[in-house]
Structure 1
Amino acid sequence: MKIHVGIADDNNFLIRSVKEKLALFENVVVTFSAHDGQDCMDMLPQHPGTDLVLMDIEMPVLNGIEATRLIKQKHPQLKIIVLTVFDDDENIFNAIQAGADSYLLKEITPHELYEAILQTLEGGAVMTPSIAMKTLQLLRHATPPPKDSSGEAVHLSSRETEVLEQLSKGLPYTSIAANLFISPATVRRHTENIYRKLQVHSKIEAVEVARRNRML
């Protein structure tokens, strides 16, 4: 049975390298190669039989993490393996949250890549050993969801979530107020409520806690 694979990477040399690795396996067919996340999304409808996408992270127009999130919303059955040179905590965390099924570094051997594709298609989650260790460390150091005085998990209101999303973009109170059609004083009040609920003391802390607990 043929395995149809798409590749999304803005580096032609690396695309050729991946194709050469996959060419060693007769049952793997590269259906398309895209040079950015948007290009990948545009090509998927033209190749409905694609089983899996090898996704780079750092790409123009639309990066791999955002592309993964959007593709998973439209094609939840499609498997995505992040194939990248980035092994930092932020990219690993964001890729997993976006819905990546596996996370591999580009230094992987042809046989390791092939086995990772097979395992991912079977429902597994494959990671380069160093990535797996970093992921475990992220989980070990993750803080528990904030709780209120009664022990219940904290929930932000829809308006508080909107304000926090705006804060995460680095916008000042006046811009947030204009965007949400409320006064700067109301923005400040919502921000104070967010800090109190999340038990934090700064915008950076609030955004970090909210993302960690999937509130954003």
Structure 2
Amino acid sequence: MIKIAIADDNSFLIKTAQEKLSFFDLAVKLIAVDGKDLIDKLEINHNIDLILMDIEMPEMNGIEATNFIKNKYPHIKILMLTVFDNDENIFNAIKAGADGYLLKEINPKDLHQGILETLNGGAAMHPSIAFKTLKLLRNPQDFENRECQEEIKLSTREIEVLEQLSKGLNYNTIADNLILSPSTVRKHIENIYAKLQVHNKLEAVQKAKSNNLI
């Protein structure tokens, strides 16, 4: 009999998953409410074939737990079972070592088929997830650039200063153009360097342009 673990912080969704699995020759041997709880329970008994892993959980989320478990118990297959199908979660789950990615709306038959497929060395994926995964694999740089853009938050004034910097203007000229004191301009530039994680004007301008900030 196939031994299953379920990790989810929603008791109703755990029950729903159990009901779907009850139609087949599967045994739910372990239930955890978050990633940390799952890891603690696997320390006691890691004789598990496959984990149905939620993503958004307290203490430790499903992606962090997947990364840890795949390193410590590589024999355990992990199927992400979640309501979240955004690019970031898919990308990070695959990087963490997930063996498949299904959505919680899945019917019992398809869930069972996905489990069997994963245990046989396949990669069970909801069709929309498979399509997004192909896009991510074809253009990983696009995703990484977009991720970087989302992290960089510059104020309107900082962008104005950057635009002036990109024209090769000095601090005093920028101060005059923006009706600021030179010391205020200098402070803005220090903040810009820190946010962009750069060390000079050339790097700042190049990174701002590559992230479509100016």
Root-mean-square deviation over aligned CA pairs = 2.7
Deviation at 1:48, TM superposition (A): 2.5
- Local SS of the residue matching 2:141: coil
Structure 1: give runs of 5+ residues left out of the alignment. 145-167, 171-186, 206-216
- Local SS of the residue matching 2:84: coil
Matched, 1:36 2:34: yes
**2:55 counterpart letter in structure 1:** I
Structure 2: give runs of 5+ residues left out of the alignment. 143-150, 154-192
- Local SS of the residue matching 1:83: strand
- Local SS of the residue matching 1:30: strand
Which runs of structure 2 are paired with 1:90-169 in the superposition (5 Å)?
90-143=88-141
**Number of the residue aligned with 1:21:** 20
Output one character per residue of 1:74-112: Cα deviation in whole Å (capped at 9) or x when no partner. Answer: 111110000000010000000000110000000111010
Deviation at 1:47, TM superposition (A): 2.3
Of 62, 73, 76, 1:75 maps to 73
- Local SS of the residue matching 1:201: helix
Deviation at 1:32, TM superposition (A): 1.0
Tell which structure's C-alpha radius of gyration is larger: 2
Deviation at 1:141, TM superposition (A): 2.4
Rounded Cα–Cα distance in structure 1 between residues aligned with 2:118 and 2:96: 16
**Number of the residue aligned with 1:5:** 4
Deviation at 1:138, TM superposition (A): 1.4
TM-score normalised by length of structure 1: 0.67
Contact 1:31 1:47 (C-alpha < 8 Å) held by counterparts = no
Structure that is richer in helix per residue: 2
**Number of the residue aligned with 1:156:** none
- Local SS of the residue matching 1:21: helix
Deviation at 1:191, TM superposition (A): 4.6
Output one character per residue of 1:140-162: Cα deviation in whole Å (capped at 9) or x when no partner. Answer: 22339xxxxxxxxxxxxxxxxxx
**2:78 counterpart letter in structure 1:** I
Rounded Cα–Cα distance in structure 2 between residues aligned with 1:20 and 1:143: 41
**Number of the residue aligned with 2:58:** 60
The percent of aligned pairs where both chains have the same amino acid is 54
